[in-house]
Chains A and B, each alone.
Chain A
Amino acid sequence: MIGIIVRRELLALCRDRRVWILALALLAMWAMLYVAALGQQQRLQAERAQIGDTTRAQWDKQGIKHPHRGAHFGMYVFRPDVPLSAFDPGVEPYVGQALWLEPHRRNMARFNPDADSGPATRFGHIVPAFLLAGLFPLLIMALAFSQATQEREQGTLRMLQSMGVSNLALLAGKLIAIAACLVLVFLPVFALLGISAIWQPGVAYAESTYLLPRVASLAAVYLLYYLGIAALGLAVGALSSGSRGALFVLVVLWAVFVLAAPRAASAIAQARVPLPSATQFWAAIAHDYQRGLPGDPDLATQVREFEAGLLRQYGVASLSQVPIGVNAARRLVRDAYADKVHAYHFDALWARYQQQQRLLRWASVFSPTIALVGTSAALSGTSLAHQRHFENAAEQYRQAVNTALDQWDMAHTQGNVSYETQYAADAVWQSVPAFHYTPPSLGFALRSAWPDLLLLAAWAVAAMALLGVAARRWRP
């Protein structure tokens, strides 16, 4: 029975020229947006690579300096482009593009593109993923509800019921037909995504093949979302008395899912888990560095103890007699403590981010779009977890570079050497290895997004259950 219904519905959908025109128009719009985003991404990628090389060359050719002054010149690292960021940039527009690595301090990435954007982005960032997650559901709803309301308004529902066709079979058949249509329409979208990800210049073959499972996972997740939306559209169509009323209810639901719930959830998360102001955050780090973290002695005491230890270790009366570079040795101790203080405060900050993320997940109960956005960013490699992964890698590199420079300084000097003395040449700067970042695997993405995935699946199941309820109440 269902097979016949599905065939009939598919035939009706295929014959409906409006569906095709709408689908083609949307696909064309999406493709245009994606191609533009891809072009922009490739320009940025090329620029980032070029700037990365130039800043490295600036580091390498600093000339003769005191090594610590050279370290203070610092290095910049740039997060390598994620191939799928043209599709879903996730948090990328809202985090800095460049991270300055310098001694003593851990910085935050600077120059976020959102700060340079115009007022319209406050309505929504028009990126290919937003089109799929935010705007396409509206059209799926519009397509789905009329499948149910038309049966009643054209009087065919009574006929079908008199022929013994069950409501559930009818609605299930319609849902399967819509799902088949969706697969047909979105297949080119994800095929284009897969092809462009594989063929992207600068992406190695091994990397490109690892992208395919990501694209496939994205396709599966979006289809699950659309299936839920289609089921909801059908259910509302079946439960409503007229087309206009049904459409209005669906528009309200869409506005709640896409516009209201994410904004309200974001505001509530900010209010429930407030972040310190930038001034407070950096002041707390400066305070704890000088005065010591809870349970630790203050910095002056730590340094005094270290110097006393040096004198004991080398059996000399003054620091100027110590056979290693005292300033560099002292810096190593101070910086190790600065790293500890920074890690303490940054971990606390990230913990707050995660608390906010958990609150946002709770809000997915009111909107499957929130869960989808989180999952999509994770699978595209542009989520908050991915950003943290990158920043942690950059921080480890910063610590390694500064430790290496201080160790070199310590080994090549004796006693107290003035900062005005210049004795490190280009060979020292060039000996510092370049920053290589390996993005995390798909497993990492799935681990970070599994609650969102679960919520999305729960939404799909709930929508199906509502469709079941609607089938029982569907009257001619």
Chain B
Amino acid sequence: MRLVFWAEWLRFRRSRANLCILLAYCITLALCALWSAHGAHQLRAANAQEAATRVALIQQARDSQDSVQVRAQASGRVSSPVSGQASANANATTDPKRAAMQAFSLGRSMAGQAQLPPGPGLALSLSPHHTLTTRIAVSVESRHADGRRSDTLNNPMLAQYRALDLAAVVALLMPLVAIGWCAGTVQEDRERGIWRTLCAQAARPWQPLHAALAIRAAALWLPAALACGLAMAGSAGTTTGSGVLWWTLCLAAYAGFWVALCGALARLPISSAAALLTGLTAWLLLTFAVPAGLEAMAAARHPMPSRLASIVELRQAQQDAEVRMPELLKAWYADHPESAPRISGGHTWPVNFLPRFAYQDDLVRPLMRRFDQKRLAQAAFLERWAWLSPPMALLQVSDYLAGISAAHHTAFLDAVDQYEQAWRNFFVPRVMSYRGLTADDYAHIPRFQGVAPASAAPVPSLLGMLLLVTAALMALLLGFRRRIGRD
């Protein structure tokens, strides 16, 4: 068998066409990997910059308050130096409306930004991080109608041409190379009249074919594994070990699937060109038609509510909350006696708006979260049927490793909701009571705690599916092995 392998390796290596394809494959993957690693670096840097902006905003608000206090001291409104308890109570001596406004301004600024932390496989699946809402600025105001706090900025025309994600490139390119290398090889040998000679030379005629397929599978898998592994490691640091391992295993199963499929085509009684076309048709079906069909089925099983209809509900909630503003304000003060206002008389914006926003969001939040729940259900449906389309299964694995799967995203949105609640619990009483923020308060402004690492359980299950379909095809190949050489 070793000699058969050696002979097939020499055959593979000495074919100029094979080497050209291998070279083009490696160059494409290398370029893509470099590009993706660079993109992942940029995204992490942008996230760090946004986090720094958040800190700077809080610091700026604090500095601004300090300068107001210094001016107040200079004008004799604060008698003692700002230190200790005096500092903590400094706002108690300043203008209550100004104090409320200061707290409100910070409470609705972009300082409350939460970011979805990317996973170790960010380099594999970058584009969803730009499409989905991965940065949301929570606020004391209602954020659901305001796209400025969460929506991303993209050129829709570029989106139309799709993105250069490393995982998508591998999922598209690997099968094409496999088809080029393996589909119709037996038929071509037969057309050239060397097939019978080849069979006659081997004790078991199936061995050369299977050795050739194994060599091609290795040549497919190795560059992809190296390129992806380096891109992941280069862009994420040390925490990528298990991610790289899972991805490498998935790539092995994926390469095995396509090589086995093309090997099975070699048994068909057709010409080499027809085998190539059949392989191509299978690729088109598995890459485009089956996933589109599965997505249509998922949408039918778990229909997404209408975004447009949600606008009507959102406006109804806005109107309802606005009409009930005086009543909501009264109820808020009744429920929070510890935050009694420091002024007497009528309350104006922003104070009388905050209970309204809380009420409005109680109505709107479940409406908005319906979409994520449906998206999650659709993703779960697609995962169950992923074995029907290995390219889609591979993309799903990459999304999990990149930390942008539907499960990750929903967990992020849950965490954002919790963060928003904490943010409001902190700011709203300080605005409503007209206390504002004291110097000590700045240290206690809630921070986004991140998302609990989502379970990686679907990755092994998706890998299992890939392995299963590959094993089924390999069993088919092995089942045919005795018939090889008889025709």
Q: State the A residues within 8 Å of B (CB).
A: 47-48, 51, 54-55, 58, 62-63, 65, 69, 73, 76, 78, 90-91, 94-98, 100, 105, 107-108, 110-126, 135, 138, 142, 146, 243-245, 247-248, 251-252, 255, 259-260, 262-267, 269-270, 275-279, 281-283, 349, 352-353, 356-357, 360, 370, 373, 377, 383-384, 387, 418-420
Contact = CB atoms under 8 A, between A and B. Distances in A.
Contacts of B127: 122
B346 A124 contact: no
A243 B272 contact: yes
Contacts of A55: 311-312, 315
A113 B375 CA distance: 12
B157 A110 contact: no
Contact of B156 (A91, A255, A420): A91
B102 interface: no
Contact of B389 (A96, A120, A244, A276): A120
Contacts of B184: 244
Given A47-B309, A110-B151, A279-B53, A243 B162 contact: no
B391 A123 contact: yes
B166 to A, nearest CB: 11
Contacts of B280: 138, 251
Interface in B296-335: 298, 304, 306-309, 311-312, 315-316, 318-319, 322-323
B348 A418 contact: yes
B387 to A, nearest CB: 14
B392 A120 contact: yes
- List 9 A-B pairs, minimum CB-CB distance, nearest first: A120-B291, A94-B156, A262-B161, A94-B159, A91-B156, A111-B307, A267-B164, A243-B273, A266-B161
Contacts of B188: 244
B180 interface: yes
Nearest to A355: B155
Interface of B: 17, 24, 28, 35, 46, 50, 53, 110, 113, 127, 131-133, 135, 137, 145, 147-148, 151-165, 168-169, 171-173, 176, 179-180, 184, 188, 271-273, 276-277, 280, 284, 287-289, 291-292, 294-295, 298, 304, 306-309, 311-312, 315-316, 318-319, 322-323, 346, 348-349, 352, 371, 375, 378-379, 382, 389, 391-392, 395-396, 399
A269 B158 contact: yes
Contact of B271 (A69, A243, A248, A373): A243
Given A276-B153, A279-B135, A247 B276 contact: yes
Given A111-B307, A247-B277, A267-B163, A95 B132 contact: no
A119 B382 contact: yes
Given A73-B319, A107-B147, A120-B392, A114 B159 contact: yes
B157 to A, nearest CB: 4
A45 to B, nearest CB: 11
B56 to A, nearest CB: 11
Contacts of B375: 116
Nearest to A48: B308
Contact of B277 (A110, A123, A142): A142
Contacts of A126: 288-289, 292
Nearest to B318: A73
A275 B392 CA distance: 30
Given A263-B163, A275-B153, 8 more contacts: A51-B312, A62-B319, A73-B318, A98-B308, A118-B378, A126-B289, A266-B162, A360-B157
Nearest to B375: A116
24 contacts: A47-B308, A55-B312, A69-B322, A91-B159, A98-B307, A110-B151, A116-B304, A116-B371, A118-B378, A119-B382, A120-B382, A123-B172, A123-B287, A125-B160, A126-B288, A146-B273, A244-B272, A252-B24, A267-B35, A349-B153, A352-B155, A357-B155, A384-B155, A419-B349
